Amino acid sequence: MRFVIFTHSLVSDWNHGNAHFLRGIASELLSLGHELRIFEPKDGWSRQNLLREQGQVAIDEFERAFPHLRSTLYDDSTLDLDGALYGADVVIVHEWNPPGLIARIGRHRAAHDYMLFFHDTHHRSVSDRNSIAVYDLRHFDAVLAYGSVIRDAYLQHGWAARAWTWHEAADTRVFRPLSWVKRGDLVWIGNWGDDERADALREFLIEPVRKLGIRARVYGVRYPPEALRDLAKAGIEYGGWLPNYKAPEIFAQYSVTIHVPRRPYVEALPGIPTIRPFEAMACGIPLISARWNDCEGLFSQGEDYLMARNTSEMTSHLSTLLSQSVMRDRLREHALQTIRSRHTCMHRVKELFSFLASSQLVGALEESRG
C-alpha cells in the first residue's frame, strides 16, 4: 500500500514528541514492504529551533541514525498537493499542521479515493477546544486519537464522525536494553515546556534528589534560568538537548528514571501517559511515575512501575529502588514483557490495519488491484 504522512517534523524531535512515534511507525511500515512518503514544512518550528541551537550537524546525525527514513521539505504556499498525494491509499495528517493545509487536504480527499486520517497527539482537544474546532475535518474519514478521552472529545463535539483510540508506543528497533557502565543514580529525559509541570518537577524530581543527595542528570530543552538554578542547587546536572534515539544509551548509564506528566494529562486527560514511559520501559530501566490515572489499563502499577503521589513517596521509592537490586530487576523484567507483548510500534501498525479493515478499505484495494 502507499502511505503519505504530513507531519510537523520527522527529522527534528526538539520539543516535538510525535517525531518519536512517527519514526517507529514509518520504520515498521517500510519493513512490511509498504511505500511511504513523509512531508514536513521547511520552516517548521521544531526544525528551526533544532537548527538554531544545534546546527546542521543534528540533521546529519539523524540521517546517519535512520538511513531508511527521509522526509520531503515543502513550502505550504507552493505545495503541489496532487503530486504529493498521487497514488496514495492512506494519508495521515498530524494535528500540528496549519488549518489551511488540513482543510486543503480534506478537499482533495473529497475528489479522490483514499483513506484520510487526522492524527491527534496533544491535549488541546480538552485544554484549548477552540484551537481544534477551527480544523475542517468534514472530508476526513476518521481521527486517530492517542487516548480515549481525546477520541470521545472529537465525537461529542461533532468535530469528526468517526474516531479511534491509537495510543503511542515504543520503537523497539531503537529503544531496547543496552549494556553500559553506570555513571549515576537517576536520569530524567524531558522538556520543561510552558510551566505545565514546573511545580510537579520541583515536587517529584528536584526535591527528592536534594533530600537523598543522589547523582542525577536531566536532559531536555526550554529550561528557563530559574529552573536551571533550581537544578544546580539540588546537585542535578543539566545535559541540554538529547537526540531521542540516543536515550537508550543514556538510560543504560543510570539505575532509575521517573515520569512526570504535564498538568493537563493529570487533571483532564486520564489514560494518556505520553510516549516517554513506553520508551523507558522498553530500555529496561526501572520507572517511578508521578501521579496519573491509567484508566485504560495500559500498564500494571506496582509491577511495571511504581507510583508516587507526593515528594515523600517519590523519595521513599527512589531510596528503595536504589538500594534493592532485586526489586529493580523485577520491575525491569515485567515492564519489558508488557512493552514487547502489547506496546511496540508494530502493534500499533497492526491496529492501524485493523482500522482500515473495519472500513473495508483493505479488501477494496486488493480487489481493485487483482
Q: How confident is the model at residue 360 (pLDDT cuts 50, 70, 90)?
A: low
341, amino acid identity: S
Give the pLDDT mean for 37-43.
Answer: 97
Terminal CA-CA length for the chain? 14
Mean pLDDT of the chain: 95
Report residue 90: phi and psi, to 5°.
-135, 130
In this predicted structure, what is the pLDDT of residue 238?
Answer: 98
In this predicted structure, what is the pLDDT of residue 368?
Answer: 42
CB 35 within 8 A of CB 2: yes
Give the pLDDT mean for 151-176.
Answer: 96
CA angle 312, 317, 319 (to 5 degrees): 95
Report residue 254: phi and psi, to 5°.
-130, 160
Q: Inform me whether the pLDDT recorded for 313 exceeds 60.
A: yes
Q: How confident is the model at residue 196 (pLDDT cuts 50, 70, 90)?
A: confident
Percent of the chain at pLDDT above 90? 89
In this predicted structure, what is the pLDDT of residue 361?
Answer: 53
In this predicted structure, what is the pLDDT of residue 262?
Answer: 87
In this predicted structure, what is the pLDDT of residue 194?
Answer: 75
In this predicted structure, what is the pLDDT of residue 127?
Answer: 85
Q: Which of 255, 250, 252, 248 is nearest to 240 (CA)?
A: 250
Q: Distance (Å, rounded) from C-alpha 306 to C-alpha 331?
A: 8
CB 186 within 8 A of CB 214: yes
Q: Which of 254-258, 262-266, 291-295 has the lowest mean pLDDT?
A: 262-266
Q: Distance (Å, rounded) from C-alpha 182 to C-alpha 253?
A: 4
296, amino acid identity: E
Strand partners, 37: 4
- The residue with cell 539540588 is 234
Q: Give the number of other Cβ atoms within 10 Å of residue 10's Cβ.
A: 24
In this predicted structure, what is the pLDDT of residue 123?
Answer: 87
Q: Which tens digits make up the pLDDT trace of 75-94?
A: 999 999 999 999 999 999 99
Q: Give the number of other Cβ atoms within 10 Å of residue 73's Cβ.
A: 13
Q: Which of 154-168, 191-205, 288-302 has the lowest mean pLDDT?
A: 191-205
Q: Inform me whether the pLDDT recorded for 180 exceeds 90.
A: no
147, amino acid identity: G
Q: Give the number of other Cβ atoms within 10 Å of residue 62's Cβ.
A: 21
CB 255 within 8 A of CB 279: no
In this predicted structure, what is the pLDDT of residue 363?
Answer: 45
